[in-house]
């Protein structure tokens, strides 16, 4: 990665049961892996059966990637798993200022920190 500004947290929220489909896209576009979190949707429109609210089961896929990889993944999600598909996928990216505990992206990040410290 070119700089710490390039590390992004990519969040993909989909209907439960489609994780493998999304992970195929994520890996094909260059991400090393992801964390899958089980979740529940709480939108405006709640489905109910005999007065009992039916929760909308969701999965959140979180992956730390560089900016270019995030952009490629988002384009593929929009095309193959967007809101109008059965996956009802949405995704968004947030910047990551600091991170520890992952291999590939952090190595470059640590080198950048050392370089900046040496120049000050």
Domains of the chain, by residue range, sit at 8-96
Q: Does pTM top 0.85 for this prediction?
A: no
- Architecture of domain 8-96 in CATH? 2-Layer Sandwich (3.30)
pLDDT band at residue 100 under the 50/70/90 scheme: confident
Average pLDDT for 41-51? 67
Is the Cβ–Cβ distance between 116 and 110 less than 8 Å? Answer: no
Residue 88, pLDDT score: 81
Cite the beta strand spans of 1-120 per DSSP E: 7-15, 35-41, 47-49, 52-54, 56-66, 90-95
Q: What is the pLDDT of residues 49-95, one digit of tens each?
A: 666 666 688 999 999 999 999 999 999 998 888 777 888 888 999 99
């Amino acid at each position: 990665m070119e700089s710490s500004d390039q590390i992004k947290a990519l969040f993909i929220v989909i209907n439960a049961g489609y994780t493998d489909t999304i992970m195929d896209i994520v890996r094909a576009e260059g991400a090393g892996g992801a964390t899958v979190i089980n979740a529940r949707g709480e939108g405006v429109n709640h489905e109910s059966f005999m007065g009992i609210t039916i929760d909308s089961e969701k999965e959140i896929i979180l992956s730390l990637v560089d900016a270019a990889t995030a952009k490629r993944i988002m384009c593929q999600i929009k095309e193959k798993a967007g809101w109008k598909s059965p996956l009802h996928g949405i995704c968004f990216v947030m910047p990551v200022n600091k991170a520890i505990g992952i291999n590939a992206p952090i190595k470059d990040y640590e080198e950048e920190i050392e370089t900046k410290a040496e120049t000050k």
